Amino acid sequence: MTSRLVTYSPAFTLVPTYECFNRCSYCNFRVDPSQDEWMTRSHAQAILQPLVAQGVIEILILSGEVHPKSPRRTAWFQRIIELCELALEFGFLPHTNVGPLSFDEMAQLKSVNVSMGLMLEQVTPTLLQTVHQHAPSKVPEVRLQQLTWAGELRIPFTTGLLLGLGERETDREETLRAIAQLHHQFGHIQEVILQPHSPGSLQHWQGQPFPSHQLVEVIQLARQVLPDDITVQIPPNLISTPQLLLACVEAGARDLGGIGPKDEVNPNYPHPHDAQLAEMLEAHDWELQPRLPIYPQYDDWLNASLKHRVNEWRSRLDRLKKTYA
């Protein structure tokens, strides 16, 4: 039944800070620099403790970006490291996505993360004149460099496209081909997220929702362009109807990403409950299964400590599958 399998990650998101020096005009996440109180260790402990008994596996560390030349950059980065270490202390598996990092920063995070991520969004430079006009870290070359460094460092990586920013169909194909080329070189891309723009209450840009009927077409294109060992992921809270979600799965999307209490990037769109999704998919002969934030083929890329924790989680999931088989 593997051909009828859809996966998701039972996840919870920790946000060290919402402050960000970028001002993407579609963003519903950021606040201005110095206008946010950073998450403390004690606050994170209070959040993580109850999650131990709730089936959470992945802790996504998701942050706004502190400028690389800011005097607060070092403290920001150390806070991210600290939250990853804390997640590991509680038995969770950290996955960090905090914007572009230096090579040395990525190397340090590799030791306390089982995987990492960064949305490529679109490689076309034309968006730098529109929605990314005030977003220095959205320069395509900067983000492609991150994907390259992740490959050089052997970091299992998730990236993706944001659809409906004003890009052309040819831009989407070019972005997918750039990802495919890097994966052919390094073999490190686990997943590619196809995220349709979904207007939120905090954004400034008056862009329209990405047309739902086009999402299936983009999934089909992704499956044609991307290597078979890259999973196509779609966010179920941004899919307008169960019928469309099923059509996306039939078209080749096989993962629903991290599902938790809140989508921090799209707070106007709550995540559906995993039991609801499982029931809906089962009615159409699809099986929904939880997964880890690292795919099995990358386990040997981890240091001994992280690999041990991952093996424990894999054994735990295997026992659960046997229990419900």
Give the pLDDT confidence of 139-179 residue by residue, as tens digits: 999 999 999 999 999 999 999 999 999 999 999 999 999 99
Higher pLDDT, 98 or 200: 98
pLDDT beyond 50 at 197: yes
- With cut-offs at 50, 70 and 90, classify the pLDDT of residue 323: low
Measured over all CA atoms, what is the biggest interatomic distance in the chain, rounded to whole angstroms? 54
| 123 contact partners, CB below 8 Å, separation of at least 6 | 140, 144, 171, 174, 175, 178
Domain ranges of the chain: 10-324
Separation between Cα atoms, residue 174 and residue 171, nearest integer Å? 5
Structure tokens of 61? 């560390």
CA angle (308, 108, 79) in 5-degree steps: 100
pLDDT beyond 60 at 2: no
User: SS3 for 81?
Assistant: helix
Cα 273 versus chain centre, distance = 18
DSSP state of 177: H
Pairing of the two strands 115-117 and 93-97: parallel
Predicted TM-score (pTM) of the model is: 0.96
Separation between Cα atoms, residue 272 and residue 159, nearest integer Å? 22
CATH of range 10-324; options 3.40.630.40, 3.30.1330.10, 3.30.70.3270, 3.20.20.70:
3.20.20.70
User: DSSP string spanning 95-120?
Assistant: EEE-S---HHHHHHHHTT-SEEE---
DSSP state of 259: E
- With cut-offs at 50, 70 and 90, classify the pLDDT of residue 104: very high
pLDDT beyond 60 at 325: no
pLDDT in the model for residue 213: 85
